[in-house]
Structure 1
Amino acid sequence: MPDELDLLRHANPVPDDGPHYADGALDHRTELRLDRLLHQAPTTTDVQPRLLRRTRVAAPPRLMGALAATGVVLIVVLTALLGGPDPQSAVAAPRPLVVQDGSPPVPLALLADRARAAAEGGSPVLRKGTHVQSWSMSMSDQAPPVTLPQETVVRWRPDGSHTELVVATDPRHPGRPVVGDEGEAGLPQLVADGHVISRRDYPPSWSDAPPEAPPPHDAARLRTYLRQAAYLPSTMNTDEVLDATEILLDHWTLGARESAVLARLLAETPGLRPVGRVTDRLGRTGQAYVHLGSQGARRMLIMDPSTGAVLGMEMTATRAEPRFRLKPGDVMQYSAWLR
């Protein structure tokens, strides 16, 4: 008769070498969210970020319908936000990025060729962890939308442990109050620029599944990697490719070689239209590529014109949602990745 332990091993629905789908093990981002729910008091860490003082939650919202369905919208009392100094600049949402007049669009295939040439130098190199500035919109059917500007720094140690520091800051208005984490009443509140939202230490993790595993150096294998990282059991559409790209960049700071492979994959993804040059919210010049999704949002991908590195990604509404007081052109999410 087989040993009972052997029977249990064969009954394991998520073996170590099997595919990781939605019913499998929690991914890194979900583990972070669960840990935040279970532990209210932040722990100390020795990570000190280079806070942005010049001109990136968490996951970016996929769709407006998903925002309403998940129940993560915040009930905001407007008067609570208007009581601090200079409140209008603190609660103002960013405007959509504007393409520079007369700037020639650069096809993604050409940008991928440039990235491959730039990668021959071998630097920079891949690094686990991320540094991202984000503007994320919270919506409620009881108050106007509120944008939460945050800077997140994740650093990994050689023993497999890592730290995460999240700071409320808006580099467009250095030194001014910003909308930060929830206060005692469970409502967003005005906080000082640089207010620490959370500072956490996480124990060692040695997962070898995407996105914890290093990204491959081949576009076809990278596509499979991204599909597994996003728990998608079939081929990805353009929106899903962009979502999975954000997951990758929220785990890894890509090196030159990895950026070139990602640029090639994006060049092979239909629906990304080159529109010209933009200046992102950190003052960097990039080439913009736009995708009009089928669910009420426009995605803009901003890439370095020389190296092909992804600088940022913007999601704007393309139709009104009166229930949430959302207007066409409102920026729902913007992430800017740094080294």
Structure 2
Amino acid sequence: MPDELDLLRDANPVPADGPHFGDGPLDHRAERRLERLLQQTPPARRAPRARLLWGLAATGVVLAVAVTALVGGPSTQPAVAAPRPLVVRAGSTPVPLALLADRAEAAATDDAPGLRKGTHAQTWSMGMSDHAPPITVPQETIVRWQPDGSHTELVVATDPRHPGRPVLSDEGERPRLVADGHVISRQTYPPSWSDAPPESPPPHDVARLRDYLREAAYLHTEPHPGELLDAVDTLLDHWTLGARESATLARLLAGTPGLRPVGQVTDRLGRSGQAYVVDGPGARRMLIMDPSTGAVLGLELTATKADPRYGLKAGDVMQYTAWMR
């Protein structure tokens, strides 16, 4: 029984301080994580596992895994290497967020794309332990909501950087290589509703959107720039923003001190965007936005400090998400 309790506490699919979970159903991510826990065979008794690093556990993206058998031992290279950090194009001119917000507001016309509940995202997530090299798990997730409040979630193991190559999957007790396009899970969820962030639609007013993001990320004080970007990540895990919502978010970010423009980048799906960076303890967050519409294209979290205990090096990409319509 202690092992099962440890699993539930580590995963924490239903946080005690989550205001909207007490009155309604779990969201699609929490349901999937809880279902995996219930189906998982209890592991043999073992020594306490390493602590998850860098606060990524709060976003539900770190995988504490043992992969020695998969990669051949601690001295070999991981089966799937972490992607290199995005590089700002030399000589490119940084676009201030205020100017980007102006462009986004101009692009928010009546015939522009509208808000849609559900997401389509490609993610690369690093898993670390104290007895095996870090690994990076790439996967694509599509969540679609129906008019009756039900929704479906499809999760596929794929890495668009290397089409057709085998992909490392985190399904089961231990990561394993699967074919590109392998379906990890396909779920249908019954109708559910909530009027609490992030399940409720985001507002179109900057001040109200800031409060919305604080509630969605369970922040009780004014968020610093890194926390604000984590809250944006939570928002985009539930909604595909329309032009008007992207313009409101861009205006909010334009008024956020510490988020600095650095220039043009090409994201991991080959799209051109403007990058905005904030440095925090041990890590750097880079937000990539469409230079014309202000839509968020991606968010990258990169280690700025090495930790030899876990094989983590400065410059390792610990998490990257690319959002699509």
- Structure-1-length-normalised TM-score: 0.81
1:123 correspondence with 2:112: yes
Counterpart for residue 260 of structure 2: 273
1:151 correspondence with 2:140: yes
Task: Please list every run of 5 or more consecutive structure 1 residues that lacks an aligned counterpart in the other structure.
Answer: 1-19, 41-61
1:195 correspondence with 2:185: no
- Rounded Cα–Cα distance in structure 2 between residues aligned with 1:325 and 1:251: 32
Instruction: Kindly state the Cα deviation for residue 30 of structure 1 after the two structures are TM-superposed.
Output: 2.9
Match of 2:166 among 177, 183, 195: 177
Counterpart for residue 329 of structure 1: 315
Which amino acid in 1 is paired with 2:256? T
1:64 correspondence with 2:54: yes
Instruction: Kindly state the Cα deviation for residue 222 of structure 1 after the two structures are TM-superposed.
Output: 0.4
Q: % of aligned pairs identical?
A: 71
Instruction: Kindly state the Cα deviation for residue 63 of structure 1 after the two structures are TM-superposed.
Output: 5.4
1:313 correspondence with 2:303: no
Change beyond 3 A, Cα 1:334–1:66 = closer
Counterpart for residue 78 of structure 1: 68
Counterpart for residue 284 of structure 1: 271
1:102 correspondence with 2:88: no
Instruction: Kindly state the Cα deviation for residue 110 of structure 1 after the two structures are TM-superposed.
Output: 0.5
Match of 2:128, SS? Answer: strand
Which amino acid in 1 is paired with 2:19? G
Change beyond 3 A, Cα 1:291–1:63 = farther
Instruction: Kindly state the Cα deviation for residue 278 of structure 1 after the two structures are TM-superposed.
Output: 0.2
- The number of equivalent residue pairs is 292
Instruction: Kindly state the Cα deviation for residue 122 of structure 1 after the two structures are TM-superposed.
Output: 3.8
In 1, are the aligned partners of 2:61 and 2:125 still within 8 Å (CA)? no
Counterpart for residue 245 of structure 1: 232
- Rounded Cα–Cα distance in structure 1 between residues aligned with 2:186 and 2:61: 25
- Rounded Cα–Cα distance in structure 2 between residues aligned with 1:326 and 1:242: 23
In 2, are the aligned partners of 1:21 and 1:231 still within 8 Å (CA)? no
Change beyond 3 A, Cα 1:63–1:268 = farther
1:111 correspondence with 2:100: yes
Change beyond 3 A, Cα 1:323–1:263 = same
- Structure-2-length-normalised TM-score: 0.84
Task: Please list every run of 5 or more consecutive structure 2 residues that lacks an aligned counterpart in the other structure.
Answer: 1-14, 41-51
What do residues 277-309 of structure 1 show as CA deviations (whole Å, max 9, x unaligned)? 00000000000001001x210000000000000
Who wins on radius of gyration, i.e. which is larger?
A: 1
Match of 1:116, SS? Answer: helix
Match of 1:198, SS? Answer: strand
Q: Where in structure 2 are the equivalents of 1:196-215 lying within 5 Å?
A: 196-215=183-202
1:33 correspondence with 2:33: yes
Match of 1:201, SS? Answer: strand
